[in-house]
Amino acid sequence: MLVLTRKVNQSIMIGDQIKVIVVDVRGDQVKIGIDAPKEISVHREEIYSEIQDENKRAVLSKNIDLNQLDKVLKPGENRGGDLVNKFDEGR
Amino acid sequence: MKIETTRFGTIEIDPGQIVEFPEGLLGFEEYQRYVILEQPDRVFSFLQSVEAPWLSFVVMIPELLRSDYHVELEPQFVKELGFENPEEGKVLVIVTVPEDITEMTANLQAPIAINLKTKLGKQIVLMEGSYKIRHNVLAELQRNTYMATKAAAE
């Protein structure tokens, strides 16, 4: 791995389109700015494991009563009606 | 064809409706084929694995939670999913339903993009910004309905 030393406000270019700048350093926290073309996505590495965990939590449990799912949206009939209409428009 | 499911029993599906996720969903990379079980006039649908009976997710249309929700696919994903026309697309979000159903949350940061024509799908990770992994569904629905009512009144 390439390791470079930079000071606050100094930056690094990756290729000629991606710029990484050290915005601020406080204790063990580093604030980093990234300028990259729109088609390149930038994520914290942990986001992938957070989404993996959330997907695992989302697997439909046996304990969930599926009939309750839609009922919980309709405490009053009017609101329920609105939601169904919106659903139809959305399709 | 018939498939086995834990929650819905044995169901008959049209093989032409199977959506392939070449990379699976995050955390479930080994399962690639799903069907969307839609319920007419219902808010929630299900994304059911064709390969694993127990693997099923509650999904919904994100616009119900945020009317301005949109996903801008990166060019590489447009190519991967074989998009020729945005009309071919469908976006769903996964809903996590805990024991207390009123606490259910929708993952607006990692929506599922499907090309209905090529039947290819992918879970997209959006850059951090307006959308999070957990949005309370009931609160967002209420807010969205309120905004819509307000807009209609103006």
How far away is chain A from the Cα of B15, in angstroms, using its nearest Cα? 22
Q: Which of B64, B94, B101 sits opposite A55 (nearest CB)?
A: B94
pLDDT one-digit tens code per residue, B112-153: 999 999 999 999 999 888 899 999 999 999 888 888 888 888
Range A85-90 average pLDDT: 45
Question: pTM of the predicted model, to two decimals?
Answer: 0.84
Measured between CA atoms, the residue of chain B closest to residue A52 is: B27
- Cβ(B135)–Cβ(B65) below 8 Å: yes
- Cβ(B126)–Cβ(B111) below 8 Å: yes
Buried b (16+ CB within 10 A) or exposed e, B120-131: bbbbbbbeeeeb
Q: B127 and A64 in contact by Cβ < 8 A? A: no
Check residue A6 and give its pLDDT.
Answer: 96
Check residue A81 and give its pLDDT.
Answer: 43
Residue B35 tokens read as 């069907």
User: What superfamily would CATH give domain B2-153?
Assistant: BH3618-like (2.30.290.10)
* Boundaries of domain holding A19: 1-35
pLDDT one-digit tens code per residue, A29-80: 999 999 999 878 888 999 999 999 999 999 998 888 888 888 888 754 444 4
- Quick check: B26 contacting A, CB < 8 Å? yes
Pick out chain B residues at pLDDT < 70.
Answer: none
This model of the complex carries an ipTM of: 0.93
DSSP reduced 3-state for B146: helix
- The residues facing B123 across adjacent strands are B112
Give domain status of residue A17, yes or no: yes
What is the number of structural domains in chain A?
2
- Quick check: B78 contacting A, CB < 8 Å? no
Per-domain boundaries in chain B: 2-153
Of B72, B81, B79, the C-alpha closest to B19 is B81
Give domain status of residue A74, yes or no: yes
Q: A50 and B127 in contact by Cβ < 8 A? A: no
- Cβ(A24)–Cβ(A7) below 8 Å: no
Residues of A in contact with B98 (CB under 8 A): 57
In whole angstroms, what is the distance from residue B37 CA to residue B39 CA? 7
Residue A82 pLDDT greater than 50, yes or no: no
Q: Which of B63, B96, B101 sits opposite A54 (nearest CB)?
A: B96
